Amino acid sequence: MTHVVQFPGLGIQLTVNEVAFSIGNFQVRWYGILIALGFLLGVLYAFSRCKAMGLDSDRLLDAVVVGLIGAIICARLYYCVFYDGDKYWKDPLKIFDIREGGLAIYGGLIGALVFGGLTAKLRKLKVPAVLDVVSLGFLIGQAIGRWGNFVNQEAFGTATNLPWGMLSDNTQAVVPQGPVHPCFLYESLLCAVGFVLLHIFNQYLRRYDGQTFLLYLVWYGACRFLIEGLRTDSLIIPGTGLRVSQVLAGLCVAAGIVILIALRHKTSLSGCGSRRVMEAVGLAEAPVVQESAEPETSTIFGDLSPEELREIFPGRKEQAETPAEPQPEEAAREETEEEAQKERETAPAEEKEQEDAPKE
């Protein structure tokens, strides 16, 4: 299906096709490609950080594979259970068709954490450290995967007069008043910003395993809570009118803040983080300042030999051959030595004169 998407305030108009290519009657959609790309980049990032995080990459691979399977299953079930309608009750086989969308991120996170976390525990990995690196991979996947919603023209918000308001056939069918909030774009950008900030924190400021994951819960939870309030297609808790993802996001923020406060004095790392904590737990050596016995040399010509210096500055040769004038202290020392030498030379002559003198 093709959509004509406009951003009237920016003067942008695009034509997007949900189908990337077809193999016979089988259609490969951009939604699935973008989800897969986001997952792949997230996994590559996680594996690139294994050494710095003190994790075994082979064991982590087992946890990632099992976590992925659990994430897909739970993301789909989460969506279908809270879907407003009886489409999946009438035709249960549609549950397995995810090419047109219908994956709930919070369901995927729950599945990944439960199944991946259990596998990491069985493979004797430090689960909090795994959660730290995996949460950063989540942000990469979410930042890219949300563009699948753009291609499908779903997950948009209410009407807006902002310059970046989005307009398409799908948005007009739900919100005929005009352009809507491009919620997919908000979440994608916030996830990208969150990744950069948490990557820096994880590398240089983390004080204990699991701290980055807790900050991820707070960051993404706060972002999702605000964005979910704008969306027009939120999943609702039956009989309450409450948005499922908004409730979960609020709980994640509250829980994350409480745990961060409770563990504010904790210092326990198995990989990169705060330099001071790494030194305290033996992961890094404190810098040793060595005093050099050698005199300091010129930063420009310190590595050059006297011969090389004479070639560059010919006048230095004559200057080197001219004896330097003695300093006042050296001159006084030389005068004292000359006087002592004269006294030693005159002493024998005076003794001889006394011997030759007539005795009375």
Could you list the residues known to form a binding site, using ranges. 146
Treating both helix axes as pointing N-terminal to C-terminal, what angle do 244-262 and 211-228 enclose, rounded to 10 degrees?
150
Spatial separation of the C-alpha atoms in residues 345 and 342, rounded to whole Å? 5
Helix segments in the chain, DSSP class H: 30-48, 50-53, 57-82, 87-90, 105-111, 117-122, 127-152, 169-174, 183-204, 211-228, 244-262, 275-280, 306-312, 315-321, 328-356
- 250 near 221, Cβ under 8 Å? yes
Give a three-class secondary structure readout of 245-262. HHHHHHHHHHHHHHHHHH
What pairs with residue 138 in β-bridges?
A: none
In DSSP notation, 10-41 reads: GTEEEEEESEEEEETTEEEEHHHHHHHHHHHH
Spatial separation of the C-alpha atoms in residues 128 and 113, rounded to whole Å? 11
Spatial separation of the C-alpha atoms in residues 100 and 30, rounded to whole Å? 9
C-beta neighbour count of 346 within 10 angstroms: 10
What pairs with residue 159 in β-bridges?
A: 180
Treating both helix axes as pointing N-terminal to C-terminal, what angle do 30-48 and 57-82 enclose, rounded to 10 degrees?
150
